[in-house]
Structure formats: structure tokens, C-alpha cells
Structure 1
């Protein structure tokens, strides 16, 4: 076990075999890899915007390379290898990339890898895993959805079944129970954040079983949920990461996750050698999370409920249930 006090900041000097990752001419090169398209309208797009914001704010930073659509494991390993050879900081944007980072990072000790939305199994001195406690937002969303539901059946649809997605389910389950102990919560995984057809099928199956409130932990795949909800009176949809109120009239609100700010902070600190190796989780206190309603949506009672649940989470009155938070790794960990 390594305490936070002994977490190793990654500010490594160049060594033979990895000179391409050094600062050159006072500029820190940054590479970005994602398994999804860069313009997916969700997680990847917001993360990339955060990296770009860090670069725009500091003339000594340069985003040199973007590799997206790296859906297969070998593509991910090859992409990270290529980026690590010529960048001092490499952002691996996606929970499914933890295995690829574990393979590539030891080969490039002078490159700082910033793994987003997942942790490694063991500490690597040149890897910072950056996560957001999305399950806390899900508690609030679950309470609101339960209050909105007439059938007292709500659901969550995500892409791959990874801890950062199951946290939305467990959080919704806890929040729904806090609002009404009789509320049932379903979950479904399409294994693809952007497959509209699979998302529509999953949503149609839930609606057929009586679910009338659905949270979408998807990117462009959310369109499938909108299509399934259209024409179904009383069916509400909830997003994650950002408000998409104009995309569909059924959208009630969103568990906002400000990935752009998180990525901007992480990249800025990594480039300056101030982002520690180990695991870093952004929570409510960091300002990375909030629940917001779309304009004209949400009753006064629901808005009061959201504020109440948020306050109770913040002051510790509500303790996250099992599965709501990502498991703490057995190495350096920092909660922000």
C-alpha cells in the first residue's frame, strides 16, 4: 500500500530509448487516444475539448496527435505505442483502455499516461488514472426518475459493462429507493456507446416491460433511446455528462459530468509534472458533478428533492451503497 503522501509525481527526465517523449523547444507534446469517434457528441468529444482547452490556455503545450475509433484491443495497443513514442503526455480516454495502458506504459517510462474513467490493477509510476464519482450523480438522477415515474419502473442503458457504467445503475438504484422503496430499476448494456440500433432495441424492451424513465449512459447511441421513447406518453429520458435538451422533448435532465474541466485540469497538471501517479477521483466537492433539469422540466418538488439529495451526499448524510463508487485501488489514491 502506498499512501497519498508518497504518491510519485510524474516529472521524469528523458532517457535513452524514449527521447521523443521529452520536451522539445520548451513545448510539451500531447497525444490523445479514444475507442470512440472524436465527434461522438458525448464522452470523447467533451474529453477532447478539455485537452484542447488546456492547450489553448498554455502556449507551451501542443496537441500533436489524435487517434480515435480504436475499438479493438490491438488497435489500442498500437495507437498508444505510436503516441508514446513522440509525446510526453498521452491521454487514454476510456475505461476499456486500462489493459492497453498496462501493456504499453512500462515500455515508455518517460511518457506520462493519463488513463480516463478507469484504474489499473497495480501502481505504475508513469500512469495517473483519473475518474469521476458518477455514481453520486446517479443517486440524484435515480431519486428524480423515481418521483417522475408512474409505473415505479426505471432503467439505465449503457455501452460496455464497466465499473464507470455500472456505477450509474447502482447509484440510480440507491436514489430510487430513497425516494420510493417500491421502485424497480433495470439495467441493459449494448457494448457500444454509439450503436443507435442496439440502444433502441434495449429501450423498446424496457418500455415493453413497463419502464417509463430511462437514463442513457451512451454517446450518439442515445438517439436510439429517443426514438424508442417518442410517442410513448409519460416516458422520460435522462442523459449523462451534459444537457441535451434540444435533442428530444422527452429529456427531463442530466447528471452533468464536466469531463472537459476534468481533462483540462489533468492535462495541465500532467504537463507540469504535478499530476501524481496513482488514482485520482473527482467528486461533488470538485465541482465536476451536478444534476440539472432541462428548461421547463421538473416540478418544484423534484427540484427540491434533487437539492436535498445532493446536500445529503455532500454532508455525508447519504453514504454511497456498494457499487456506487469505483473500488478504491490498493495504491495511491486521491479524492478531490
Structure 2
């Protein structure tokens, strides 16, 4: 199964604040916030939602096609992704803008304050999926993740026109999208990905109830952090899966992207949604153990150990053979 991942490609600037943000916020002064947090350290990492997901898929033995826009500073990042199994030949390089930047500070409770500079990502709207198909072949699935809003809409329309199955992952861009745009992005999606907060925001932005959204998508995958994941579809009972426990979380950045990579890789192997959710949680736990979004390493032995600890033997018949093929 070939997966094309569209969306952001960025450089992450990750900082840690040893205190708690909540202790610095004054309830009666929230209309005039002016704060500076002294961070203990700074990590410069590769990131961007689409690049993170594509990296995870590559680590799991797939060869995803990455589709997005970057600046002329992308070349070292391109080499890194290609070395980890990602097809980057459909990435557009801007002649004038820098690659997008994600600047994020995490506090001691893993709360985050972040700013995203789009940069070259604004040119993603110039990418035509038809050109990607002509170059790389027809994908079996297109994941439309956070990107330039016009690009997200264009890719969704192209999938409808070409009859290519797609999954919708609007997440951070929900705040930028109008009601009609949100509805267009989710209508007809084989899968919809959100976290718990985004699920509520999606309903508000779309002007639809959860039940109405379920009528428009194949299934809705919602991550709930430490509480795990819930998968819903119209006319059936929800599937819930608890998370893989991580005793000492190092960095939460990119954990949702890692879950998507694990989940999509497992579905590409043809396993059940239950097994896909378990693998997604295991990959997410691996990312929580490292700083940055692409600094982790995966092996069949590591993932099988996490799966066995969290879920016992309920994964073995579906996932073991695939994971044993990993280095």
C-alpha cells in the first residue's frame, strides 16, 4: 500500500521551562498577557506534521510520498528523510521563502505554548496532486494533514476528482478554517483524525454534531493522551484502546504524528483497527521517550516488547510478522 502524506514540513525550535505556565497567568489579567519564560535549554529539530508522519511510516518499512513546500534550506533535511525511507521528490522548493518554523516551549507539566511561522508552506497551494500521481504513481491513500489551508482544500478536491481515498487530519488549522471549508475537508474522508480538544473544536467550526460528522466520514479516530484512543463509525459501537504507559515522559512534541504513522502503517498491512490503534500507541510511546519528533528509533523487538507489556498477547497474530521484518 502506497501512502502520500501532504502537509507541513518545518524546523522545530523546542524549549523547556522548569516551572508551570498556570502559575504565571493571572485570572483577572488574561486580556493583557505579557510574559517571558526563561527556558533551560533549546533543541533544534526536524519537524512539521507531514514530515513527522512520513518519517514514522518510513521507519516502519513503508515508502511514503511526502508532499509539501519548503525553502532552499531544505537540502540537509531532504537527505535525512530519504535516508529514512521517505520519497521527497514531490516536495516543492520555494525560490524566496524559508522552510516553516515551529517554536514551542513546554513546562514541567508538559503544557505547551507554540508559534508556527508558515514561510514556504504558503506555496503548497501551488502543488497539484495530479503531478504527484504522474511522477510517483497513484497512491492507495492520501493523508491530508495541516498545511496551507488552500493547499488542504485543493488536495481534498483532487482526491475527489481522481477517486483516490483520503484521510483528513485538519488539527492545528481548524482555527483558520471557515465553516464551509471544514465541512469540505471532512466530507467523504475514509478516516478523520483529531485529538480530544480538536474533536470539540471541529464540531463547533463545522456547525455539526458528532453524529452528523460520523455520517460524513468512514471512521473518526480521536486520541485522548494518556487515556488512549477512541475510534467511532456510524452504526457501530466505539472501539477504545488504552495508551502505552510511559513512566517518565521526555517530550510530548510529535506524539500525535507518531500515533498516526503507526496506525496508518498497520492499516496498510491490512490488520484490524484494534491492532492498528495498539501499534499507533506503541509508536507514540516511543516518541515520548525522546526529545524531538524524529530522533527516535524503531525496531521490531522494541515495539513487540511495548505491545506485550501494554496489551498482552492480543496483538501477536496480526502485528508480529510485520514487526519482525523491521531492523
TM range (shorter): 0.3 to 0.5
Superposition TM-score, scaled by structure 2 size = 0.35
Structure with more of its chain in helix, by fraction: 2
Higher relative contact order (CA 8 A, sep 6+): 1
Superposition TM-score, scaled by structure 1 size = 0.35
